[in-house]
């Protein structure tokens, strides 16, 4: 997709070609009904894209959940998204993990591949190279479990496509800052 097609219609720079970046935002929120809807509503209402979204409770006693959002846009757009998220009341912190580049991200995927004979052997060989685990097998297919960086999963899926890719299910990105400091 070209840069112009990816611009939000609400962007002040619509019609201009800009540099687009992918960012991982970590949003610490109160674990209460409607918070996720408000966050997603901000993205949809302003025409921002969500490439990946994960949500889980991270501190039961404090009633906190973490929403991890992968989004892309011009640097100014990403900054605008962060500032708008900060204004939503049940949100405690918004951290752009990409800015310091001191974070680890992982994703889990299940990949179903159909294959017999040579294709079956090739699928197993490639799964070993990617450290994918067979979690289900029939005489005509496999389901592989693969954990890693999103690029690793993308690469594995592309290699399985000509072999007999049937279906892919992905969790979305989970990310955390490196080092001993809290967010």
Interval 9-57: pLDDT, tens: 444 444 455 688 999 999 999 999 999 999 999 999 999 999 999 999 9
| CATH no. for 104-175 | 3.30.70.1150
Domains of the chain, by residue range, sit at 3-101, 104-175
In the block, tokens 């720079």 appear at: 13
What would the pLDDT profile of 70-98 be if each residue is shown by its tens digit?
999 999 999 999 999 999 989 999 999 99
Q: Give the pLDDT score at 173.
A: 95
Handedness of CA 45, 34, 53, 102 (dihedral sign): positive
Helix, strand, or coil here: 11? coil
Classify 3-101 by CATH class: alpha beta
For residue 156, the tally of other CB atoms under 10 A from its CB is 24
What would the pLDDT profile of 106-143 be if each residue is shown by its tens digit?
999 999 999 999 999 999 999 999 999 999 999 999 99
Contact 27, 85 (CB under 8 A): yes
How many H-runs (helices) and E-runs (strands) does the chain carry? 6, 9
* DSSP structural state of residue 75: H
Phi, psi values for residue 180, rounded to 5°: -80, -10
Find the radius of gyration of the CA atoms of the chain. Answer: 19
């Amino acid at each position: 997709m070209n840069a112009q097609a990816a611009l939000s219609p609400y962007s002040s720079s619509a019609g201009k070609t800009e540099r687009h970046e992918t960012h991982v935002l970590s949003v610490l929120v109160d674990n209460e009904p409607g918070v996720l809807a408000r966050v997603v509503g901000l993205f949809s209402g302003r025409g921002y894209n969500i490439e990946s979204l994960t949500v889980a409770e991270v501190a039961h006693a404090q009633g906190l959940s973490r929403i991890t959002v992968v989004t892309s846009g011009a640097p100014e757009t990403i900054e605008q998204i962060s500032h708008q998220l900060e204004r939503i009341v049940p949100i405690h912190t918004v951290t752009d993990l990409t800015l310091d580049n001191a974070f680890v991200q992982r994703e889990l995927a299940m990949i179903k591949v159909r294959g017999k004979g040579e294709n079956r052997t090739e699928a197993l060989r490639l799964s070993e190279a990617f450290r994918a685990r067979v979690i289900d097998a029939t005489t005509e297919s496999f389901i592989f479990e693969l954990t890693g960086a999103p690029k690793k999963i993308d690469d594995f899926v592309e290699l399985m496509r000509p072999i007999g890719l049937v279906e892919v299910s992905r969790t979305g990105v989970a990310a955390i800052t490196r080092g001993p400091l809290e967010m």
